[in-house]
């Protein structure tokens, strides 16, 4: 029996998150047919909407969609939502009431749900990620900490499967989720061959090398912003909680509580992340040796900072520079 996959499109979705799995799954069917002519296609794919009719993506592309009925599919793949800020994202998700109701019905019917990128917020707002491990686009980690504390967020991971619910990181992470569906339906060899044809790197399992604190969206309070500016200015110095609290004119206890609420870390843990961010920027944009970079990041021990860098980014400094160095540098 074929695995029945429904791809959910809706007004405001990102067109590539509809087309990418659609094409990938159909290419897998073609490869399966070439390998075993006449055999049943391993995947049955359809485009659906919560209401049927037409769904208009944010790019202007229109998709004709069938009404989504949980009895008609085994897997519901939820396309990502386009947005410019977390505020706009939440406003748009609030308007997708029919889509959230569909997700709940599908979950109640025991269907597998796969949320691509920002679509994880649709699942979170529907309460379907509570108590589960999940991932999402790395820049939404701050939103998850504040709005969805019951979600066990593993933002470093590219794809997270928890029971019948799968969530992915940004855009191209959806390729790996698609390959896993192909593997489920047609076996590992079919998934591997489809990945080869599409140039999908299945060894890539972490978002960590791509995370940038500067681009991450976080709703911060004035105190935390003041604290972060001071930390950025003094990264090359030895930093203490007492000095930071004095600069912010609050008690150490108040600083720790409010800082953790905004950043999900203690100030000293956050300092380590900021120092790694500075090292990443210098590796990308300069020809400085790693030893020189370590000094500019407020560290004396090169070996310990090298370990910290790899722990945070999942890459060695040399590998990071090779992958992300700016052109012409």
Model pLDDT for residues 280-314, shown as the tens digit of each residue: 989 999 999 999 999 888 888 999 999 999 999 98
Closest CA to 8 of 93, 62, 65: 65
Task: Report the top-level CATH class of 222-324.
Answer: mainly alpha
Q: pTM for the complete prediction?
A: 0.79
Q: In this structure, are residues 113 and 103 in contact, taking their beta carbons and an 8 Å threshold?
A: yes
Q: Which residues contact 240 (CB under 8 A, 6 or more apart)?
A: none
- What is the C-alpha to C-alpha distance for residues 311 and 297, in angstroms, rounded to an integer? 16
The CATH code of domain 3-210 reads 3.40.50.880
Q: Where are the domains of the chain?
A: 3-210, 222-324
DSSP character at residue 13? B
Model pLDDT for residues 11-61, shown as the tens digit of each residue: 999 999 999 999 999 999 999 999 899 889 999 999 999 988 999 999 999
- What is the C-alpha to C-alpha distance for residues 19 and 111, in angstroms, rounded to an integer? 22
Alpha-carbon distances of 74 from 29, 68, 112, 178, 250, rounded to whole Å: 17, 12, 6, 14, 54
- What is the C-alpha to C-alpha distance for residues 100 and 51, in angstroms, rounded to an integer? 12
- What is the C-alpha to C-alpha distance for residues 253 and 259, in angstroms, rounded to an integer? 10
Q: In this structure, are residues 65 and 49 in contact, taking their beta carbons and an 8 Å threshold?
A: yes
- What is the C-alpha to C-alpha distance for residues 234 and 237, in angstroms, rounded to an integer? 5
Asked if the domains 3-210 and 222-324 are classified in one and the same CATH topology, the answer is no
Tens place of pLDDT for every residue, the chain, 329 residues? Answer: 899 999 999 999 999 999 999 999 999 999 999 989 988 999 999 999 998 899 999 999 999 999 999 999 999 999 999 998 889 999 999 999 999 999 999 999 999 999 999 999 999 999 999 999 999 998 898 889 889 999 999 988 999 999 999 999 987 889 999 999 999 999 999 999 999 999 998 888 788 888 777 666 665 678 888 888 898 888 888 888 999 999 989 999 998 988 887 787 888 888 898 899 899 989 999 999 999 999 888 888 999 999 999 999 989 999 999 988 876 55
């Amino acid at each position: 029996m074929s695995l029945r996959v429904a791809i959910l499109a809706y007004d405001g979705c990102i067109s590539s998150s509809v087309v990418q799995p659609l094409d990938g799954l159909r290419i897998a069917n073609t490869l399966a047919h070439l390998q075993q002519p006449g055999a049943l296609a391993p995947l049955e794919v359809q485009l659906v909407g919560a209401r049927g009719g037409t769904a208009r993506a944010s790019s202007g592309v229109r998709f004709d969609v069938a009404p989504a009925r949980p009895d008609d599919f085994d897997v519901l793949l939820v396309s990502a939502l386009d947005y410019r800020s977390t505020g706009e994202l939440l406003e748009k998700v609030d308007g997708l009431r029919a889509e959230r109701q569909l997700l709940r019905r599908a979950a109640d019917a025991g269907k597998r749900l796969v949320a691509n990128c920002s679509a994880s917020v649709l699942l979170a707002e529907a309460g379907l990620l509570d108590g589960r491990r999940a991932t999402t686009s790395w820049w939404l980690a701050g939103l998850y900490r504040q709005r969805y504390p019951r979600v066990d967020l593993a933002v470093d991971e590219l794809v997270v499967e928890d029971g019948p619910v799968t969530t992915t990181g940004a855009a191209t992470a959806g390729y790996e989720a698609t390959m896993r569906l192909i593997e489920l339906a047609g076996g590992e060899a079919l998934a591997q061959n489809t990945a080869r044809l599409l140039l999908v790197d299945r060894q890539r399992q972490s978002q960590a090398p791509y995370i940038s604190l500067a681009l991450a969206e976080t709703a911060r309070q004035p105190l935390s912003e003041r604290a972060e500016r001071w930390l950025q200015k003094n990264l090359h110095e030895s930093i203490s909680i007492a000095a930071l609290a004095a600069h912010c004119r609050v008690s150490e206890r108040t600083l720790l509580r409010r800082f953790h609420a905004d950043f999900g870390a203690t100030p000293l843990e956050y300092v380590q992340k900021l120092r790694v961010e500075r090292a990443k920027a210098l590796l990308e944009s300069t020809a400085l040796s790693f030893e020189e970079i370590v000094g500019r990041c407020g560290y004396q021990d090169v070996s310990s900072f090298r370990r910290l860098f790899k722990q945070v980014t999942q890459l060695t400094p040399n590998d990071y520079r090779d992958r992300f160095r700016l052109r012409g540098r």
